[in-house]
Amino acid sequence: MKKEISVEKRLKKLYPESSEYLLKKIKEKVNKFNDSIENTNSYELNENKSILITYGDSIKDESHSLNVLEKFMEEFVGDSINTVHILPFFPYSSDDGFSVVDYKKVNPDLGTWEDIKNFSKHYYLMFDAVVNHISSQSDWFKGFLRNDPKYDDYFITVDKNTDLSSVTRPRALPLLTKFDTPEGEKYVWTTFSEDQIDLNYKNPELLLDIINVLLFYVKNGASLLRLDAIGYIWKEVGTSCIHLKQTHEIIKLFKDIFDSIKGQVIIITETNVPHKENVSYFGNGEDEAQMVYNFSLPPLVLNAYQINSSKHISKWASGLEYPSDKTTFFNFLASHDGIGLMPVKGILSDVEIDNLIKKVEKNNGKVSYKTNSDGTQSPYEMNINYFDALYDERDSIKENINKFLGAYFIAFSLRGIPGIYIHSLIGSRNWAQGVKELGYNRAINREKLNYENLKKEIEKKGSFRNQIFYSMKHLLEIRKNHKAFSPKSGQEILSICDQVFAIKRFCEEETIVAIANLSKEEVTINLNEISNDNSATEIIKGKEIKNKISIEPYGYTWVKI
C-alpha cells in the first residue's frame, strides 16, 4: 500500500490499542479494491472543471429522476459543466437526504446504482459522504436500540447530567436525545437533530465500516467525495467537539487511503465556519482535503453589491492563501443550504451582517438561528434564493439580472473551481410556498421542477430563465478554454476604484483581468490602469478594446491583455 507508513502513524495516534489490527484490515480493503477496478477516473483540478450542485430530483417527470437529470444535462448543459454533485441520493428519513437510512442503497424514487454508474460515464460525479451521523431508522441504530453487541459502541451515549456547555452547537436543538433500550433509557449524542444520530469514531469497527462505504462510493462512480459536517466527527467531553486534532487526523487517513487506490479521488470538506478554521482543512497542502468550500464568498459578494463597494471583498480576497497547487477553493454562491453568516465573522462588522439580514428579510427570505454556549441565540444562516438575496426593487429587471450574473462572474473568476446550484443555473426564484408546505426555512431554495415546463421556459427566447441560463452557460464555456482560470494559475486583486472588483488571473500563456461593476452607474476605466498596452481583447463578446473600457451598471468583463 502506497501510504502504509503514513496510515500506520495516524492509526497509532487515533487507535493505539488497535493500530496493528486496523492497518491489516485497511491494507486488505485497499488491495481488494485495486484488484477489482480496471478503469479509473482521475479528477484533475484545472480550468475545465465546474460543478453543478443539484438534488437527484430537482428536475422531475414520470421516469426515474436521475435519468431526467442526465437528460437535462445532455440536452441543455452539454460539456459547459463537466461535474455534477448529486446531493444525497440514498434512502433517508429527514433533512432532505442528510439523514441516511442505508449508505449503500439508492433511493428507489430516484433510480438505481446502474443509473448512477451510467451517469458517471458522461459526467464526473460528486457524492455526499454523510458520515458524521446516520438516521435513527438505519439498521445500525436499530441494532443499537435492541442491544445488538455489534452496534453497542457505534454511537455515543452520555450521562444526562454531564456538563456539555462547551460543545459548539450548530442548531437551536438539544444535543442529547433520549431513547429507550432493553437496558433502560440512554441519552445519545445528536448534533443536528433527534433523527440524526452521531457516529462514534472512537470505535475501530465503525471506522472500518465507514472506510468500506467510501470505497464503495468510489467503485460506483464517485470522483469527488463531499465530507458533510465533517468538523464534528470526533467528540471529547469538555471540548468544543469541533475541529479537534483527531478530526483532522481522520480526514488525513481518508486521504492516505485514497492516495493508495487506483485513480485520483478528490476530498472536499464541508465546514461552514469562520474562514480561518475552514481553511485549516487544507492541512499542509498535501495531506488533507484538496478542496474546501469557500464559505465566506456568498455573503461577501452580497455585501459588495449592497454597499456598491469592493472594500471588504478585495481585502479578503487579497489575503486568500493556497497552500499548494494540489489544493483549491470551491467557489460557490448558492447551494441547497442557506447563506452562512459564521464565515464572515471578523471580516464584516456586526452592523454589516445585520444589514445583510435586513435585506434578506425584506426580500422575503428567512433567517435560521443557532444556540450559543451561554444559552443565547445567534443568526447562522440566511435562507433565500441567491437572485432574490441580490434583488433590489429600485433596479430594472435588466440591472437585477446583470447583478446576479455579475455575482457568478466573480465566483467564476476567482482562483478555484466554480460551483453552480441548479436553481441559480436555471434562474429560479424564492419558493415561498415550499416553506409553508414543508415547514422549514431551507425549502425556499429546494423547489422540484417539472422537466417539460422547465424546458419550455428555458427555450422561450427572452424569458427570465432563458436569459439567466444561456448567459451563465456562455460564461462557463469561455472560462474552460482559458488556462488563466486554472486553479494553478496566479491571482492578484487589483485596486482600480471602490465600485469595481477586479482580479488579474495569469499564467505563462496568458493574462486576463476580470472586472465587475458593483454599482448602478456606468464605469469607465483607462486601459493603462490594467495593461501596458493601449489595446486588448474583451473575451465575452470578442471585441477589441482601445484605450478605454466602459462597463454598464452591474456589468462585468473579461479583458485579455
**pLDDT digits 0-9 by tens, 321-355:** 999 999 999 999 999 999 999 999 999 999 999 99
Query: Which residues, in sequence order, are CB contacts of 267 under 8 Å at separation 6+?
Result: 224, 225, 227, 251, 254, 255, 258, 288, 289, 290, 291
* Crossing angle for the helix pair 113-122 and 65-72, to the nearest 10 degrees: 10
Q: What is the domain partition of the chain in residue ranges?
A: 490-560
Report the candidate in 12, 249, 15 with the shortest Cα–Cα distance to residue 153. 15
Annotated ligand binding at 337? The verdict is: yes
256 is catalytic: no
- 232, with CB counted inside 10 A (0-12, 13-18, 19+), is buried
Model pLDDT, residue 171: 84
Query: Which residues, in sequence order, are CB contacts of 468 under 8 Å at separation 6+?
Result: 387, 401, 404, 405, 424, 425, 426, 427
From the first residue on, what is the mean pLDDT of each consecutive set of 10 residues in the chain (561 residues)?
94 98 98 87 94 98 90 98 99 97 98 96 98 99 97 97 93 93 97 98 99 97 98 97 98 98 95 93 98 98 99 98 96 97 95 98 94 82 98 97 99 99 98 94 96 98 98 99 98 97 98 98 95 91 93 98 95
Model pLDDT, residue 62: 82
The catalytically annotated residue of 128, 198, 228, 287 is: 228
- Tell me which amino acid residue 435 is: V
Model pLDDT, residue 371: 77
* CATH fold of 490-560: Immunoglobulin-like (2.60.40)
CA angle 354, 357, 362 (to 5 degrees): 130
- Stretch (H or E) spanning 19: helix 19-36
CA angle 149, 153, 155 (to 5 degrees): 125
In this prediction the pTM is 0.97
**Using CA atoms, how far apart are residues 233 and 367, in angstroms rounded to an integer?**
26
pLDDT in tens, 289-323: 999 999 999 999 999 999 999 999 999 999 999 99
Q: Name beta bridge partners: 133.
A: 198
Annotated ligand binding at 442? The verdict is: yes
> Which letter does DSSP use for residue 64 in this model?
-
Write down how long the chain is.
561
**Using CA atoms, how far apart are residues 151 and 175, in angstroms rounded to an integer?**
21
Supply 224's cell numbers: 469527488
Query: Which residues, in sequence order, are CB contacts of 486 under 8 Å at separation 6+?
Result: 45, 46, 47, 507
- 40 alpha-carbon distance from chain centroid: 24
Model pLDDT, residue 41: 73
Annotated ligand binding at 248? The verdict is: no
Annotated ligand binding at 133? The verdict is: yes
